[in-house]
Amino acid sequence: MSDPIRKQTNSALWLGLVITVLGILSNLLYFSKFPAAALPWLNLTLPAIGLIFLLIGLVRAFGQSQIYRGRIWGSIAAVLAVLFLAASAWLFVLVRSVPRSAGAPQIGQRVPDFTLSDSNGQPVALAQLFAASPGMPQPKAVLLVFYRGYW
Amino acid sequence: MAISVDAPEVSEHLRGKQGYTFTFLSDPNTEVIRRYDLLHKAGGPEANDIARPAEFLVDRTGTVRWVNFTEDIRVRPRAQQMLAAARSIP
């Protein structure tokens, strides 16, 4: 009586799952000290690589089902990975749809003057930001941070 | 200091909540935002006009010494970059 064929670990499927999960987690790195410029590419390439391994694993699971497991959980994982990759790609395009701002002040140019209300409703001119205040000498520079708002 | 389209009360709430000591200014009509060519039409959560993120380090003569325009709004400059630029100003 011959031995039944031993099942082998579907390593491609497991690797695909781990890499996809890492891709999902990479979205949290924006809140860490990780260099942010590399993150948008990580958010895209990790899920893509994970999906490739998942598909390889699925081909094995379905093609050699006596040896490799994972037809059901692998299929579910692959569907989720596709959805996540699509969401990552959509988000990637969305966050880069920023206007060109070709007319914004560049290094060496003078910035336009302005007077705006501060958070107490008091008008503040750009020049006033360079004034000395109690306990602090005149600043040698001011950082203007324009942000989207709605925080 | 920080400029956005948020009304003064909204900025003051944010300032108090986070304990920030720098100045928040309000530009609800995007007048200054447009003067700096930073308008992002319909870029806000309710398809309203907002500023695209940008940072300018300006010296006492009003000249830009360092600038950052983000291509991806999730990627913001780290404080070290800004501080290094500020230290280089005589």
**Residue A114 contacts B, CB cutoff 8 Å:** yes
pLDDT band at B72 (very low <50, low <70, confident <90, very high): confident
Give all strands (DSSP E) within chain A, no chain letters.
115-118, 123-125, 141-146
DSSP assignment letter at A70:
-
pLDDT of residue A59: 94
Q: Which two tokens stand for residue B22?
A: 């720098």
Please tell me the least confidently modeled range out of A45-54, A117-126, B37-46, B73-82. Answer: B73-82
Residue A41 to chain B, least CA–CA distance (Å): 11
> What pTM does this model have?
0.72
pLDDT of residue A61: 92
CB B72 within 8 A of CB A40: yes
Q: Which two tokens stand for residue A73?
A: 């959980």
Q: Which two tokens stand for residue A130?
A: 């360079």
Interface test with A, best of B14, B24, B31 (most A CBs within 10 A): B24
Q: What is the mean pLDDT of residues A53-82?
A: 93
Residue B60 to chain A, least CA–CA distance (Å): 6
The rounded distance, in Å, linking the Cα atoms of A117 and B6 is 11
Give all strands (DSSP E) within chain B, no chain letters.
2-4, 24-26, 39-40, 50-51, 54-59, 64-69
Q: Which two tokens stand for residue A151?
A: 């925080």
**Residue A25 contacts B, CB cutoff 8 Å:** no
Architecture of domain B2-87 in this structure: 3-Layer(aba) Sandwich (3.40)
Residues of chain A with C-beta less than 8 angstroms from the C-beta of B35: 112, 114
Domain ranges of chain B: 2-87
Query: What is the predicted ipTM?
Result: 0.82
pLDDT of residue A2: 56
CA B77-B40-B24 angle, 5° bins: 60
Nearest CA-CA partner of A70 in A5, A17, A6: A17
Mean pLDDT of chain A: 88
Q: Which of B26, B37, B67 sits opposite A102 (nearest CB)?
A: B37
The CA-based diameter of chain B, rounded to the nearest angstrom, is 43
Q: Which of B25, B39, B89 sits opposite A141 (nearest CB)?
A: B89
Q: What is the CA radius of gyration of chain A?
A: 27
